[in-house]
Amino acid sequence: MAAPYIRIDEKALQKKMQKYEAIVGKEVAQLVRNGSRLLCVELAGFTFPKDKKLGEAAISRDVSKIFTALNPDWWKKHTKKKAFRVVEADDFLAQLSTILVKNITAAKTFHKANRVFSRGRALPINKKAVIQMKTRNSLVRGLQKKVGLCKAGWAVAASQCKADVRQPLRGIPAWVTRNMGKAVAAVREQSVAGMSFKINLTNKINYTDKLLSRKSRTIAQNVARGKFVKMLNTAIRATKKKEAGLK
């Protein structure tokens, strides 16, 4: 499925922006850039997980749906059984009742091939791969470092909006921004005559639509719109107050 595509093009805001432009003096294009940054921050907030610990716990559960982890004693006993066959990282096509995953490389390959089972369902018990507890823990730690990657796509977009603020990533936590180097987003401006300046925002992480529901997107847009209008109103009142004091 395509990554979520957000368009800032709300005619209801145009009158408010026009009033802001006339009183405060800031052009519409810059207003929309600032509003787009606000939206990116809200989209990041509404994208799963809500917090780091929640995401880390979800990863641990997902791994348990496709692996059976054994302690050292049980691992030693099971590796001696003929019913099990140790497979390398490039050999998962064999029709085996049980796969014994030998190392972290093999674990990563098996996880990648079966992560479709990580969302809401699990592999049948006789199809799960058997893994050493230490290898399982190493796999989980590596995956947990990527918690917030999808959110980071919106952080990248926020940084590209050209908002005239000192901290464009304000509101996005560090455990999200640490993944910005691995995330990809697109911000495309469309210059249209009059008040119809548009910005299209796209989070290019391919599973964004699974972690940000349509309902959550709508809520994020409404929250961002409210904050944007509040920002406009505050600036308009401040400018009027300043002008009144000068007269």
DSSP character for 94? S
- Catalogue the E-assigned strands of the chain: 5-8, 67-70, 85-87, 99-101, 129-132, 185-190, 198-203
pLDDT confidence of residue 10: 60
pLDDT confidence of residue 84: 47
Check if the beta carbon of residue 206 is closer than 8 Å to that of residue 2. Answer: no
pLDDT confidence of residue 3: 55
pLDDT confidence of residue 70: 85
**86 vs 68, 90, 94, 113, CA distance in Å?**
14, 12, 11, 17
Ranges of residues in the chain with a pLDDT under 50 are 1-2, 82-84, 88-97, 247
Q: Which two tokens stand for residue 71?
A: 């302690």
Cα Rg of the chain, angstroms: 25
> Residue 222, Cα to own-chain centre: how many angstroms?
19
Measure the CA–CA gap between 177 and 169, rounded to whole angstroms. Answer: 8
pLDDT digits (tens, 9 = 90+) for 97-129: 467 888 999 999 999 888 766 556 788 777 888
Check if the beta carbon of residue 160 is closer than 8 Å to that of residue 185. Answer: yes
Three-state secondary-structure class, residue 27: coil
The H or E element that residue 243 is part of is helix 214-246
Domain residue ranges in the chain: 5-49+148-246, 53-144
CA-CA-CA-CA torsion for 132, 134, 176, 48, nearest 10 degrees? 40
> Residue 99, Cα to own-chain centre: how many angstroms?
32
Model pTM score: 0.77
